[in-house]
Amino acid sequence: MVEIRGAIELPAVRENIELRTADGLTLVGELAMPVSGNPVATLVTLHPLPTAGGFMDSHIIRKSAARLPALANVAVIRFNLRGTTSPRGTSEGSFGNGIDEKHDVAAVMQFVADRGLPNPWLLGWSFGTELVLKYGLDYLISGAILLSPPLRRTTDEELKKWAGADIPLVAIIPEHDDYLQPDAAREKFAIVPNIIQIDVPEGKHLWVGEKQTYTVLTHIVSFLNPAALPLPTEFDA
């Protein structure tokens, strides 16, 4: 048995992928699938702000891809938004301040449709939540998860659209967030009465440490495949 923590990578079928945007860019990424059988759900991840160091290897996103195919039978897609570099490579283009990235979201959702991946959920972290809120309802998704949403680029009009949505919208709010803490989040999200807000004691915006990582992954799996809970802390190698 091996302890599940840090940068451990559990078994999965990992495929380097390329996404083509409507404005002519190629984005690089990875699809991680369970080793056997079909996934019960698909987690489509949108990473934090590229101009502040966010990329497809931002640790919660990387750990989702490293662990959830094996632990929760969930497929995970992660990719670099336009102009973003990681060890996987560099996506073409340049940062679009959340506007041009609408094409990036469209490209990854087209990939999901082309592959027939089941029950797609959008997971945005920080800047990625802005993209979820702006563009997520344009696609057939099973739900959306907002991890540490700053709500800096999201308008009230965009939020109000989610009030009429018939899919779950989940906001995971760290107690000590740098941008939006639980009480302020409740105030901002009051125009979306159907939102599921989960406040995480001791949580911080970057979710550093195994305790916070485990908490976040547990909340994600509670929506995508609750039968897989509790997530194990050891794996039979």
User: Percentage of residues in the chain with pLDDT exceeding 90?
Assistant: 98
Per DSSP, the three-state class of 122 is strand
DSSP states along 1-45: -EE--TT-----EEEEEEEE-TTS-EEEEEEEE-SSS--SEEEEE
More confident of the two residues 146 and 237: 146
pTM above 0.85, yes or no: yes
Q: What are the boundaries of each domain within the chain?
A: 2-235
The pLDDT of 36-44, averaged and rounded, is 96
Fold (CATH) for 2-235? Rossmann fold (3.40.50)
The whole-angstrom separation of Cα 196 and Cα 76 is: 22
Say yes or no to pLDDT of 126 above 90.
Answer: yes
Average pLDDT of the residues in 144-152: 97
**Neighbouring C-alpha atoms within 13 Å toward the C-beta of 25:** 25
